[in-house]
Amino acid sequence: MKRHLLSVCLLIAVLGTFSIPARASGDVVQFGSTIHVPRDTSIHDAVCFFCDVDAQGSVDGDVVVFFGNIHIATNANHDVVNFFGNISADDNAHIGQDMVSMFGGIRLGEDVSVGQDLVAMFGNLRAGESVTVGGQRVVQPAWIFWGPLLFIALVVILVVHEVRNHRRRAYMRYPYPPRP
């Protein structure tokens, strides 16, 4: 049984060394490595986990990042979505559809255009007056999420502290430890 399990693990390890990055017709998917799109080049979709996307060139599809940052220098023709990171767009950049940031910030340069909705949930938005948004602009500051969470944490800490003090005072009433 152990020999069979060892051979299966070795087979998986050998096959894992021959794995290639996920690419499908211009899509780039990375885990832990920055996706860099050079100027005058384009990719279709960019998906990144625990890394950044630096798009100096064009992104024809979606840009999705988890736990990293997004930088758009020229244009992203579809959605730009970021979870737990920041989005920045240079001057005169264009986002074709929606721009969404959850638990992060958005910084937009001058004359940036967003085709549809701009959403910054539990983060901040820094945008100039010349930024145009085709749909709705929704900004929920971080304190709306972290404020109630901090209040609940403080209540739990206070309750635990009082329970410990009550037990300590009850223990100290005896001149000697109580019998088990």
Domain edges within the chain: 22-141, 142-175
pLDDT at 172: 77
pLDDT at 24: 54
The CA distance from 99 to 116, in Å, is 8
The CA distance from 122 to 168, in Å, is 41
Of the candidate ranges 18-27, 66-75, 81-90, 117-126, the one whose mean pLDDT is the lowest: 18-27
Residue at token pair 């999420």:
145
Please state, in angstroms and as integers, the Cα–Cα distance from residue 10 to each residue in 18, 39, 146, following that order: 13, 42, 46
Reference 87, options 109, 68, 70, 64; nearest CA is 70
138 falls in which pLDDT band (50, 70, 90)? confident
In the predicted structure, residue 3 carries a pLDDT above the cut 90: no
Please state, in angstroms and as integers, the Cα–Cα distance from residue 39 to each residue in 16, 34, 109, following that order: 33, 16, 18
* Mean pLDDT in residue range 67-95: 92
* pTM across the whole model: 0.70
Reference 123, options 101, 108, 107, 138; nearest CA is 101
* Mean pLDDT in residue range 89-105: 91
68 falls in which pLDDT band (50, 70, 90)? very high
pLDDT at 25: 64
* Mean pLDDT in residue range 115-133: 88
* Mean pLDDT in residue range 26-50: 88
